[in-house]
Structure 1
Amino acid sequence: MTAASPRDRACEESAQAHERLASDARGTSDAASSADRMARITWSLLAEPSDDVAHSTCTVHGVREGLEILARGDLDAVEHALRILPVHDPTAPRAQRMDRRAAAAAGLSRWKEREGRIDARSVLDRAAGQGMRVIVPGDAQWPAGLDDLGLAAPFCLWAHGPGDPARLADERAIAMVGSRASTPYGEDCASSMAAQLAAEGSTVLSGGAYGIDAAAHRGALAAGGPTIAVLAGGLDRLYPRGNDQLLRAIRERHVLLSEAPPGTAPTRWRFLARNRLIAALARIVVVVEAAWRSGALSTARHAGAIEPPRTVAALPGPVTSAASAGCHRLVRDGQAVLVTEAQEIRELLPHSAPAGDSSFAQQDELDLLDPADRHVLDAVPPRSRITIDRLASEVGRRESELMAALGRLDALGHVRITGEKVGRR
C-alpha cells in the first residue's frame, strides 16, 4: 500500500477538523456535552475572542483535547493545528506571514499565564446565581447564524434575560449600528425606524452603546418589539454606565448577550471582536450614522465577509455631515444599499415583498390609469369645465377616442360629463 503524502494527510486532517466544527454545532451525547460545555467555558476564560490560535487548536483537536494540550505544554500539537488551519493570510507575501511555531509558542504562553488565575466552575456558579446562563453549540438556544462564522465562532455565549436568542435572531433580525457621537438626525432616524421594524416583528440588534445603538434599542422597546444588546464585556458589568437603565430594561424584557465571561472588562479590541457577532446574528446590517473611520464600519465589513454574506444597508445624511461620511463611503463603494425608511429595510429581508406589492406602500390610484387616459385627465382643468371640442383639440384625439376615454374616466369617478362640457369630480 502506498503511504499517503504529507499533503494528502494535511488535507484529510483539515477535512476532519471542519467535520469536528460541524459536529460541535449539531451537538453530542449528554456526557460528552457536559464535558465539552465546561471546556468551552474554560476556553472563554483563557482566550480572547480574537485569539485565532486558540480557535484553530480547538477546531483541529477538540475543546477538551485543547485543554490537555495546554496542560502538557504540547507545542507540536498547537503548531500542527496551525498547519491544518493557518491563521495568517495565505495570500500575503511570505515575509509577512507569521511563523507557525512562534505563533504556537505565544499562544501557549498566553493561555498558561491565565490558567492559574481562572476557575471556570466558580465563574459558572456566580453567573448562575445572578440569573445568567451559558449557551453552547448544540443547545436549543444557540443562534444558527453564529455557525456561519466558522473558525471565528465564539466558544460559548453568556446570556441574561428571558429571551431565546435562537428564536429572536431569526430571518427577520436586523442589526442597527452607528456612531456613539451621533446627531439628533441620526438618533431620530434610528429610533423611528427601529420602532417600525420591531412593531412588525423584526428583532432589532445592536451593541448597547451611546448614540445610534441606544436610539435603536429605545425605539424597539417603545414599540413593544424585541431587541438584543450584544455587549463587549461581562454581563455583570453593564457598560456604558450611562445606559444602565436601558440595558436593564432589555435584560428584563428580552436578552443581553456576550461571548466574554462575567468579570471581563470591555476593551477596544473586544468591541471590535464583538461586532462580528452582531453581524452574524442579523440578516441585515443597517449603518445609520458612521464617520469616516467609525467602529460601526467594522460591523459592515464583517457582514460582507461572512458566508453567506449579510446584506448591508446605509442611511444617507447631509453631504456636509462628517457623521455620515462612512455611510456615504459604503454606498459609493458598492458595499451597502442606500435606504431612507423602514419599508426599504424591510424589503431587504428574505422572502419579503417589494414595496409595490406591500400593504404598507401608498400608491396613487392615478398611477393605475392607462397613459392615454391619464393624458386626457391631465387636460381637464382642476377647477373649471372645458368643452369636449376644445378638449379634443388640446389632446389631439379623434372624438370617438376621446369619448371612450372620458367614459372610462367618468366610470372611475375622475370626471363628470354635463352636456357638451367636462369637469373634474
Structure 2
Amino acid sequence: MEDERVARVWLSGVCEPGDVSVWRMVKALGAVEAVAAIQRGRVHRESGATEKKVTGWGMRAGAFDLEGALFICAQYGGRVVCPGDAEWPSTLDQLGESAPLLLWVRGELDLRAVCLRSVAVVGARAATPYGIRAAADLGAELSDRGWTVVSGGALGIDGAAHRGALAADGNTVAVLASGVDVAYPPRHEGLFAEIAAKGLLVSEWPPTAHPTRPRFLVRNRVIAALTRGTVVVEADLRSGALNTAHHARSLGRQLMAYPGPVTSLMSRGCHDLLRASPPHTRLVTGVDDVLEEVGPIGEGLDRPDGRPILPRDHLDPDTRAVLEAIPAGPRGTPTHAIAAAASLDLPTTRSRLALLAATGFTTRTRTGWRLNPPT
C-alpha cells in the first residue's frame, strides 16, 4: 500500500472525520507530510488547528493500531477507497473542506457505480408503523426500478428502507458512524451481515471504532453527498434526519419528505420541511413522485389512467404522426411514403424526421428511414 494511502488510513484513526483543519493540512502538505507534522506536534497555521488539538491527535496516535485496523478490514473482506481511485464517488468532493479523506468499504459492489443512481431514505429511529411501512415500500420500489437505497443503518426508518431494498434483491448502502465491523445498533447485526453480502457497508472510521453522538451527525453529510436526492419519511423536530436534509439542501440535491398525520410527533419535522419558505422540499407519497424529482425526464411520471408515459408521448402531433407512419423492420422507408402515410406535406415530414433522428427515434439509411429499437 503506497505511502499516501497509508497516511490517510493513519489520519482516519487519529483525527475525527469532517475536521476542516485536517483536510486543509492534507491539501497543503499532502497526507504523508500532514502525518509527519502531527507526529512532531507541529501546528500548520493555515489549517486553523490549535496546539490543543494537535496535542490531542498525538495522544490518540499512541492508541491507534494501523496494522491491526488494516488486518481486521481485510478479514472482513473490506478495502480502503481514497480520492482518485476509480471507485471513489466524485460527488463526495462537492463537500469541499469537509470531504472525507478516505472511506472504509465492506462488500463486493463498486461504490461509485451503485451510487450513480441512488436515493437516500432517512428518518426517525422511533418510527411509527406508518413510517416503517412507507420506508420499506419505498426501498423495495426503488430497487425494482434499478435505484440504490442509501441510509444510515439505524433503527426505525433506516432499517426499514434497507430491508425493503434487500427484499427486492436490490442494492443498498449503509453509511455507518462506526467501523464496518461493528454492528450498531446490536439488533442490526444480522441486517449488516446481509448488507455486507449483497450491498455495501461504508464508514470514515477504521474497524473497531464505536459510534458517538457527534459521529452520527458527521456521517450524515456523506449520505447526502453520495445520492441524487434525500427522502425524509418520518422525523420529529430534533431528528438527526433533518441534519441529513440540511446537507442535501446545501449540496443542491433534491430534498423530499413524506407527509404524515397532523397528530403524529414523528411527522412534525417533515411538515416543517414542507412548510419552509422558499419551498426547497417536495412532498412525495411514493416511488413515482421520488423518481420524478431525481430521475431522467419522464421517469416516474404516470398517466391519470395508470399507464406509464413513454418518450413518444411528449412529441407534438405532427412528429408523432410521422413516427407512427414509419413501418417496423430493418429496411428504410422513403420520405414521400412516410409523408403519404402521415397525411403531411414533404417539408413538414422532412423537418419532423430530422427531429426524430436527433432525439434517437429514427436512423436514415440508403433506402430511407427506419425505427431505432427502444432503449
Which TM-score band applies after superposition, normalised by the shorter structure?
0.7 to 0.9
After TM superposition, give the deviation of residue 356 of structure 1 in Å. 4.8
Greater helix fraction, Structure 1 or Structure 2:
1
TM-score, normalization by structure 2: 0.78
The one-letter amino acid paired with 2:32 is R
After TM superposition, give the deviation of residue 305 of structure 1 in Å. 1.5
Aligned residue in 1 for 2:272 = 329
The one-letter amino acid paired with 1:269 is P
**Structure 1's 63 and 361: CA in aligned 2 closer, same or farther, altered over 3 A?**
farther
> Which stretch of the first structure deviates more once superposed, 187-196 or 280-289?
187-196
Aligned residue in 2 for 1:380 = none
State the percentage of identical aligned residues. Answer: 43
After TM superposition, give the deviation of residue 104 of structure 1 in Å. 2.0
- The list of structure 1 runs, each at least 4 consecutive aligned residues, that deviate by more than 4 angstroms after superposition, is 354-361
1:286 to 209, 224, 231: 231
Cα shift readout 1:138-169 (whole Å, capped 9, x = no counterpart): 11211122111121111111111111111111
After TM superposition, give the deviation of residue 322 of structure 1 in Å. 0.8
Q: Distance in 2 between matches of 1:361 and 1:318?
A: 26
**Structure 1's 356 and 202: CA in aligned 2 closer, same or farther, altered over 3 A?**
closer
After TM superposition, give the deviation of residue 179 of structure 1 in Å. 0.1
After TM superposition, give the deviation of residue 232 of structure 1 in Å. 0.6
TM-score, normalization by structure 1: 0.69
When the two chains are superposed, the root-mean-square deviation of aligned CA atoms in Å is: 2.0
2:24 to 45, 52, 56: 56
Q: Distance in 2 between matches of 1:335 and 1:300?
A: 10
**Structure 1's 212 and 357: CA in aligned 2 closer, same or farther, altered over 3 A?**
closer
1:197 to 128, 142, 160: 142
After TM superposition, give the deviation of residue 71 of structure 1 in Å. 2.5
Aligned residue in 1 for 2:189 = 244
Aligned residue in 2 for 1:402 = none
Q: Distance in 1 between matches of 2:289 and 2:114?
A: 21
**Structure 2 matches for 1:311-326, cutoff 5 A?**
311-326=254-269
**Structure 2 matches for 1:160-309, cutoff 5 A?**
160-170=106-116, 172-306=117-251, 309=252
Q: Is the 8 A contact 1:280 1:303 kept in 2?
A: yes
Asked whether 1:71 is paired with 2:39, we answer: yes
User: Secondary structure at the residue paired with 1:256?
Assistant: strand
Cα shift readout 1:47-90 (whole Å, capped 9, x = no counterpart): 11132221222222221111121122222xx11333xxxxxxxx
Asked whether 1:141 is paired with 2:87, we answer: yes
Q: Distance in 1 between matches of 2:215 and 2:101?
A: 15
1:81 to 37, 44, 47: 47
Aligned residue in 1 for 2:339 = none
Asked whether 1:123 is paired with 2:69, we answer: yes
Q: Which has more radius of gyration?
A: 1
Q: Distance in 2 between matches of 1:71 and 1:356?
A: 56
Aligned residue in 1 for 2:2 = 34
Q: Is the 8 A contact 2:103 2:204 kept in 1?
A: yes
Q: Distance in 1 between matches of 2:235 and 2:178?
A: 22
Aligned residue in 2 for 1:372 = none
Q: Distance in 1 between matches of 2:209 and 2:303?
A: 45
**Structure 1's 228 and 358: CA in aligned 2 closer, same or farther, altered over 3 A?**
farther
Q: Is the 8 A contact 1:53 1:104 kept in 2?
A: no
Q: Distance in 2 between matches of 1:155 and 1:328?
A: 35
Q: Is the 8 A contact 2:288 2:301 kept in 1?
A: no
Q: Distance in 2 between matches of 1:340 and 1:38?
A: 46
**Structure 1's 360 and 156: CA in aligned 2 closer, same or farther, altered over 3 A?**
farther
Q: Distance in 2 between matches of 1:168 and 1:363?
A: 25
Q: Is the 8 A contact 1:330 1:336 kept in 2?
A: yes
After TM superposition, give the deviation of residue 355 of structure 1 in Å. 5.1
Q: Distance in 1 between matches of 2:306 and 2:66?
A: 53
Q: Is the 8 A contact 1:182 1:212 kept in 2?
A: yes
**Structure 1's 111 and 363: CA in aligned 2 closer, same or farther, altered over 3 A?**
closer
Q: Distance in 2 between matches of 1:360 and 1:222?
A: 29
Q: Distance in 2 between matches of 1:274 and 1:359?
A: 40
After TM superposition, give the deviation of residue 346 of structure 1 in Å. 0.6
Q: Is the 8 A contact 1:61 1:81 kept in 2?
A: no
Matched residue count: 308
